[in-house]
Amino acid sequence: MPEAIIRTAAPLPAREQLETLVSDILGEARRQGASAAEAAVSFSSALSVSVRLGQVDTLEHHRQRGLGVTAYVGQSRGSASTADWRPEAIRDTVQSAVAIARHTAADPYAGLADAARLARETPALDLYHPWPLSAEDAIELARDCEAAALAHDPRIRNSEGASVATHAGLAIYGNSHGFYGGYPTTRHSLSCSVIARDERGMQRDHWYTLARDPMALEEPASVGREAARRALRQLGSRQLATRQVPVLFAPELARGLIGHFTAAVRGGALYRKASFLLGRLGTAVFPPFVTLRERPHLPKGLASAPFDNEGVATADRDLVSGGVLQGYVLDSYSARRLGMETTGNAGGIHNLIVEPGPSDRDALLRQMGTGLWVTHLLGYSVNLVTGDYSRGAAGFWVENGAPAYPVDQITIAGNLDEMFKRIVAVGNDVDARSGIRCGSLLLERMTVAGE
């Protein structure tokens, strides 16, 4: 991004102020009879702007603050929250949490994370890069992005708008084990969506850039041109007759497949027996060349964290190694339900990386030869209990290793268990705009339903 628009940020509240609030909440919980408690206090500031056809569509600048407390009375639990930081509001919120706990049935698995698992250090992960845009600067960036898209080709006839957003926040968590921890974070984005039209019809598409550091964002004009290029390439889309063919998922869609996998190995799905991967620990769930590594401490990572939402220290691990499932995604509660140990995943996964293979997208298209390259997914029909998968899709029919023509109004279907085993290649075209980093995924075959 242009250096000139990076200025000194207005500071977030002092960390000490939020730690004092957390301490006050925990102290109030003790006074009201809680045997244990945990609390989190957060503050955030954000600016978002959207323009359409050069005119400002929305402009929002907001600051949010909140606090939440979970109180335990024995093994009964109650939670309450508020956006009011006044002492009387804290007292009333804690009172609500304790009252709920007193009237809730005891749960033998409830409780704070084990004290021995709590983080002792907070490594510097470089997650805070403020971008204090004025509203005027943000509007101009969005206009530049949209203008580049509209000027890219005369067939770009309309726009659904361009948006700029910047967010900074600080959250502190503490519990009655004596743990206190927190750190500031930022997240910034720029996006554009446009409509292409010719005598064959109309197509829309979009593109976006997302990063912790504004200097890592793509240039506005580049984002706009990519949105236009993606819309143009879909013009003249056709349907396909129903068939079974190899399928290549673009990186931004491939990470969704991996997201279904992580959902199926989450503790909640497992102890409820609502996962097709129940009881599969230590077995092959992918081909031997597939490895999934969780790396919580990547500098500037979008899902980096020194500890999870319970204060448990995060650490590198292989979730899948050589295709074999090595572990689950557990918080303390689900781990206890399963007779296991927490994996430090309260709040989710932390930078899951699908180990890339040697091939880029074009090489994967050549490897596929004839098949379907999926660039869009529509609707949602995924059953994690059975693994059944069915999504509306669009993309390109591929012949002789190259895109032949665009396709839409089709459905792709399969079973996730079989789909994961039928991955034949992982691309090196990794999309890092998420907590799951993945390249293109080539599957041996899926059912494509069309005409």
Q: Can you read off the two tokens belonging to residue 23?
A: 């301490």
Residue whose entry in the numeric block shows the structure tokens 């889309």: 237
- Report which of residues 2 and 82 the model is more confident about: 82
User: 313 forms bridges with which residues in the sheet?
Assistant: 307
For residue 9, the model assigns a pLDDT of 45
Distance between CA atoms of residues 100 and 60, nearest Å: 36
Q: How confident is the model at residue 1 (pLDDT cuts 50, 70, 90)?
A: low
Residue whose entry in the numeric block shows the structure tokens 């698995």: 109
> Could you report the per-residue pLDDT of 330-345, keeping only the tens digit for each?
999 999 999 999 999 9
Q: CATH assignment of 3-233, given 3.30.2290.10, 3.30.1310.10, 3.30.1130.10, 3.30.365.10?
A: 3.30.2290.10
> Could you report the per-residue pLDDT of 49-71, keeping only the tens digit for each?
999 999 999 999 999 999 999 99
Domain ranges of the chain: 3-233, 237-451
Mean pLDDT of the chain: 95
Distance between CA atoms of residues 178 and 120, nearest Å: 11
Q: Which of 25, 117, 21, 161 is nearest to 343 (CA)?
A: 117
Distance between CA atoms of residues 154 and 152, nearest Å: 7
Q: Which of 272, 251, 276, 274 is nearest to 261 (CA)?
A: 276
> Could you report the per-residue pLDDT of 204-219, keeping only the tens digit for each?
999 999 999 999 999 9
Q: Which of 11, 207, 47, 227 is nearest to 136 (CA)?
A: 47
pLDDT at 5 over 50: no
Residue pair 400/370 in contact (Cβ under 8 Å)? The answer is yes
For residue 51, the model assigns a pLDDT of 98
Q: To which H or E segment does residue 189 belong? A: strand 180-198
pLDDT at 245 over 70: yes
